[in-house]
Structure 1
Amino acid sequence: MRYEGSVYRPPSEAYSLIIQATIGCSHNKCTFCSMYKDKQFRMRNMEEIIEDLKMARDYYKHVKRIFLADGNALALKTEYLKTILLKIKELFPECERVGIYSAPKDILRKSVDELKILKELGLGIAYLGAESGSDEILEHINKGVTSEEMIAAGQRMVESGIPLSVTLISGLGGKENWRKHAKESARVINEINPQYLGLLTLLVQKGTKMYEEVQKGEFNLLTPEEVILETKELVENLNVKDCVFRSNHASNYVSLAGTLPGDKMNLLKQLEMMIENTYGIKDEMFRRL
C-alpha cells in the first residue's frame, strides 16, 4: 500500500484496511493536536484511490473493514465518495463496514438524504471529534465550530442512520474549567445521543500551541485524580439511550467500559472507588496517544 506521511485511525479500526482518500486535515488548527502537521490538506485523485484499492485486493484475501483516511475524508463531495464506496463494493464484496472521520462542517455540508445514500453504499460508521461541549473551550482550542454546530452535525448523522462515534477529551478545560467542560460536554452528547462515546485524556505534545501555553503557565493541566473527578461529573450528567461508552484509550488514566444508561451506576461506583484510594490509575509514563 502507498501512504503519504503519518497515518492515523481510531482504535476500533486497528484491523481495518486503511485507504487515504484525502491527505491531511482541512482544518488542522486545533491547539492541542499534533497530527497531520507534516502535510497539507488535499483530495487525492480518484485514479490513485482506485489503484490502492486494487493493490489491496491483490494482496489481501479477506478484508472485513475499510477505513477512509485522512483527517476528514467526509470533506469529499458526495459523488466522489459514492464512486469510492461503489468500487469497494465491487472489489471487496466481503467488506462489512467502511469507516470515516467526519468534521462537523463537513457533515453539515451534506443533506440527510446524501448521508443516507452513503449509508446504503456501505458507510457503516462515522467518527466525530467533538473534544468539548463548552463554547469557551472550543474557542480556546481553535476547534472552528460552536457547540450548536456540533449538535446539529451529530444529530444529522444520527438521523441518517449512519452509526456515530463521538470523542471527548478529558482535561481539555484545564484546572479552571474542568466542571464546565464536563457539564457542557454531557449537554452536547445528550442532544446528539450517539451510538458510541469515546473518552480520551489530554496528552500535550511538543510543537503544539497548547504545549507552549503549558510551558508558560497559561494552561494548568489536571492531575490524574482531578481527571477522575471530571469524568465522574461527565458520567453523572449523561442522559443518553443505548450508547456504548468507552474510556480505554492508551491516553486514559483509568479504563472504563459500559453501555448507558444501564451501566451508569456501576461506572460511577468505579470512579468513586478510584477517587477514594486511587487504585487502578495508570502511571503517567504508560500513557500514549
Structure 2
Amino acid sequence: MDTETTGKYTFETGIYRPPSEGGSCSLLLRLTRNCPWNKCTFCGMYKDEKFMLRSSEEIKKDIDSISGIRNDLKTISRELGFGGELNRDVVIEMIRKNPSLNTNHGFSMVLEWLFSGGKTAFLQDANSLIMKSDKLIDVLRHLRKSFASLNRVTSYARSKTLARKNQEELQGIREAGLDRLHVGLETGDDKLLKKVKKGVSSEEHIAGGRQAVKAGFQLSEYWMPGLGGKERWKPHALGTARVLNEINPHYIRSRPFFPFPGTPIYEEHTRGELGMLSPREQLTELKLMIDELDVTSRVCFDHMGNCWRNGNGGLLFSQDYEGYKFPEEKSFLLKLIEEGMEAQASLWQNPL
C-alpha cells in the first residue's frame, strides 16, 4: 500500500495498471486494496497482501485531495501571472511552498496526468466492481463531478463479478461514469482454467463478458498465449477463440505466458512438469486461435511480452494500443504470424 501523506494532500495509490493506462498517463485512484481472489497459479501480483474494501467516503476524500492539488496549482499559476496554466515554474513554486511534495510519488503521478490533459483515470486494484454498486456509483459520480476533463474511466474486473451483477446495476455503474473494463480471460479451456485456479468457467467468462457489453462498457479481454504448454496448446487456442467469439469484446489483448518466480506455476515449471512452448510453437498456437476468431474486435499486442520477431529482426506485431481491426485486418495478421514462423524456422536452421 502506498499512501501519499503530505499535509492536506493525502491519498492512496496502488502499483498495477494496464499498459494503455500508462500510455495515457491515467490518474490512479485506489478503490480496493489487492485482489479478492488471489489464487491464480500464474500470477505474482498482490501475493501475501490481504484484500480490503475501501469505504466510499475514504475514496472521495482521496479525490478531494487530488482536486486540491489541481486547484492549488491553478491558484499559484494565476499568482505568477500564467492565468491558471500549468508549467515548470508553477510546479517549482508549489514544491517550494510544500517541500515534501518533492519526494511524493503520488504528486508526480498527478502532475503527469494534469500535463497530459487530465483525460483518463484508472480505478485500482484488481476488481473494483466487487464494491457494492451503490457505493461504486457514488464514487464515480464524485470523480466525474470533481474532474470534468475526464473522457474515460477504466477498471479491472473479474468475469464472475460481472456475471453476478444484474443489468440494472451494471448500467447504473456505466451511466455514473465507468467506461472501460479490463478482464483477465487467460483461456477459454475449462480444464486449463481449473488447473491454473482461475476461479471461473468458460461459460462464466461468456456470461460476464456479454453482461458488460450489453451494459455499454468498452470491454478488453486478455488471453495468455502459451499458458497451456505443450500438453494443452490446442484446447487452449480453440477454447479461447470460442469464448471470445461468444463475447465479441471491443479489444482482445495478448499477454504471453511466462512463469514468474514465486508463483505456483513457476515451481511446476522448475520441477519439469510444464512443457513450455518454443517461440515458433507459440506462433502456431496463436495462428490457430486467430484463424478461429469471428469477431469485430481489435486484436492487440500492446505489451513487451509480445516479442516475436520478423525476418529482419524487428518486432513482428505492432504494440499499438489499438491493434488490428477485425475482420478487416485478420488476413494481414495471419500473414504476419506466418512470417514470424518462417523467421523462427530460419533461425533454427541457421543459428548464430
Q: 1:144 aligns with which of 179, 185, 199?
A: 199
Alpha-carbon distance, 1:225 to partner: 1.2
- Which runs of 5 or more residues in structure 1 are unaligned? 282-289
Question: Could you report, residue by residue, the CA deviation over 1:134-156 in whole angstroms, capped at 9, with x for unpaired residues?
Answer: 00100010001110011011011
1:165 aligns with: 220
1:287 aligns with: none
Alpha-carbon distance, 1:253 to partner: 2.3
1:102 aligns with: 157
2:305 aligns with: 251
Q: 1:47 aligns with which of 35, 51, 57?
A: 57
Q: SS at the partner of 1:18?
A: strand
Q: How does 1:233-244 map to 2 (within 5 A)?
A: 233-241=288-296, 243-244=297-298
**Paired residues of 1:224 and 1:253 also in contact (CA < 8 A):** no
Alpha-carbon distance, 1:239 to partner: 0.4
Match of 1:246, as an amino acid? Answer: C
- CA distance in 2 between counterparts of 1:260 and 1:276 reads 24
Moved more, 39-48 or 26-35: 39-48
Q: 2:186 aligns with which of 127, 131, 135?
A: 131
- Which runs of 5 or more residues in structure 2 are unaligned? 5-10, 71-113, 309-316, 348-352
Match of 1:235, as an amino acid? Answer: I
Alpha-carbon distance, 1:59 to partner: 2.5
State how many pairs are aligned: 279
Alpha-carbon distance, 1:47 to partner: 2.6
Q: 1:87 aligns with which of 142, 145, 159?
A: 142
- CA distance in 1 between counterparts of 2:15 and 2:206 reads 28
Q: How does 1:140-289 map to 2 (within 5 A)?
A: 140-241=195-296, 243-254=297-308, 255-256=317-318, 257-278=323-344
Bigger Rg over Cα: 2
Alpha-carbon distance, 1:38 to partner: 4.0
When the two chains are superposed, the root-mean-square deviation of aligned CA atoms in Å is: 1.7
Q: Does 1:11 align with 2:19?
A: yes
Moved more, 205-214 or 107-116: 107-116
Q: SS at the partner of 1:71?
A: coil
- CA distance in 2 between counterparts of 1:225 and 1:273 reads 11
- CA distance in 2 between counterparts of 1:253 and 1:220 reads 20
Percentage of pairs with the same residue: 38
**Paired residues of 2:157 and 2:182 also in contact (CA < 8 A):** yes
Alpha-carbon distance, 1:223 to partner: 1.2
Match of 1:78, as an amino acid? Answer: S
**Paired residues of 2:56 and 2:136 also in contact (CA < 8 A):** no
- CA distance in 2 between counterparts of 1:152 and 1:176 reads 27
Q: 1:67 aligns with which of 117, 122, 125?
A: 122
